[in-house]
Amino acid sequence: MQNSAFSKSKATAPMHEAVVMGASAGGMRALKTILDALPRDFSLPVAIVQHVASHADSFMAEYLGRDAALVVKEAGDKEAMQAGHVYLAPPDYHLLLEEDKTFSLSVDARVNFSCPSIDVLFESAAESFGGAVIGVLLTGASADGSAGLKAIKKAGGLTIVQDPETAESPYMPQSALHALTPDHVLPLDQIAALLQRIAAKG
C-alpha cells in the first residue's frame, strides 16, 4: 500500500509554476545572459533578487529588459505573477512569493546582510510552491541563497547552480554546493536552454 501511495503522489506532482533566481557580484551580466536567451513564449514567470544598493534606481530593469523578449519590471506588492514576465526585487525590499501567485514586499531586517535577500525569496517560494518552483543560484560574493536553495530542494523543487568556474564571483555558487547537492550544476550559457526545456514539459 505504501508503494502505491508513493507512486500516486509522484504521478500527481505539481507542474512547474515559477522560476526564482538569485545573484550578487557579477549578477547583472549573468542575469542578462540568461534572460536574453529566453523566448517570448517562455511559459513561467521569473522572480529575481539581485543584490543592489539601497539608492539604486530603475537602471537594472532597463538594462536587463533592453534586449530581452520577456517583460522585465520591478515587482509590486500584491501584484499577480504572469507568464512572460520577469520581476525584480526593488531596492530595500525583500521579495516573497505567496500561495495565491502574488508577490509581497517586506521591509523586515536584512538577512545575510542583504535587503533584498535571496534566501527570503527562495524560502518563501519553497513554502508557497513546494515542488512547483525552480530555484537558480548564480554568481555572487556572499553565502546568501544557499539556505533558500536547500529549502527548495527539501520541498521537492528543482535546483540549479551556476558552475563556479563560469561565475564572475564563485563564492555564492560554491557555498551552495557545500550546502546541498543541486539537481544541475551548469555553465552560465547552458542555464537558459535547460529552463526552456523544463518549461516546455510543463
- Taking 90 as the threshold, does the pLDDT of residue 175 lie above it? yes
Angle between helices 146-154 and 171-179 (to 10 degrees): 40
Q: How many CA atoms lie within 13 A of 189 on its CB side?
A: 2
Per-residue pLDDT at 9:
37
Q: What is the mean pLDDT of residues 140-162?
A: 96
CA 94 – CA 166 distance, rounded (Å): 27
CA 77 to mean position of chain CA atoms: 18
Question: Which residue shows C-alpha cell 516546455?
Answer: 200
- Residues assigned a catalytic role: 24, 51, 144
- Taking 70 as the threshold, does the pLDDT of residue 196 lie above it? yes
Per-residue pLDDT at 12:
46
Per-residue pLDDT tens digits for 91-150: 889 999 999 999 999 886 576 667 689 999 999 999 999 999 999 999 999 999 999 999
Grid coordinates representing 50? 539581485
CA 125 – CA 22 distance, rounded (Å): 12
Per-residue pLDDT at 16:
94
- Look at the pTM and tell me if it is higher than 0.75: yes
CA 111 to mean position of chain CA atoms: 17
- Taking 60 as the threshold, does the pLDDT of residue 61 lie above it? yes
Could you tell me if 21 and 48 are in contact, meaning their C-beta atoms sit under 8 angstroms apart?
Answer: yes
CA 32 – CA 64 distance, rounded (Å): 5
